[in-house]
Amino acid sequence: MRLSGKRIISFVDEEFEDLELWYPVYRAREEGAEVHLVGNEPGKTYIGKYGVPATSTYAFKDVDASTYDGLLVPGGWAPDKLRRYEDALNIVRQMDEAGKPIGQICHAGWVLISAKILQGRTVTSTPGIRDDMENAGATWLDQEVVIDGNLVSARRPPDLAAYGKAFCDKLAEK
């Protein structure tokens, strides 16, 4: 239970990639972390790409990022929605400025791009947004997991085991 006492935000919105949301959430909970699903509306049930539901605990605007230890951003089509919420982008920026672990997988890089935190960073993502990541100033690598400071990134579902471990390892360091 090396993550006991740690609190994590996991963003959620419609059409999240089901495994990319739930696998890291359960992985962190297995290690003792408290994980809150946070969306644009509190108490809303969002539906993943494959029909798995996820109900938000809080709204972005109601979250004090300083009281959390890490952030998870799932992939799927949700990141294209998440990047439009200024309150969500502020959470990303606050977590990054504080050096707190930020996990992003697949299309989640879009959220970090919109938060403007990728300049000079090294990351991975689904190859489909490689150009977006590079145009935001990042160096993109085709690896299952890339760690750059507080950022932990992964490509897609086959990388989830390595990604979940790397994110929990990074969170345990803090």
Distance from C-alpha of 169 to C-alpha of 174, rounded to nearest angstrom: 9
Active site residues: 107
Q: Which amino acid is at 23?
A: Y
Pairing, β 151-154 against β 102-105 = parallel
Which of 154, 149, 160 has its CA nearest to residue 133? Answer: 154
CB 16 within 8 A of CB 74: yes
β-sheet bridge partners, residue 71: 9, 102
β-sheet bridge partners, residue 72: 10, 103
CB 39 within 8 A of CB 60: yes
Pairing, β 45-47 against β 7-11 = unpaired
Distance from C-alpha of 162 to C-alpha of 103, rounded to nearest angstrom: 12
CB 154 within 8 A of CB 107: no
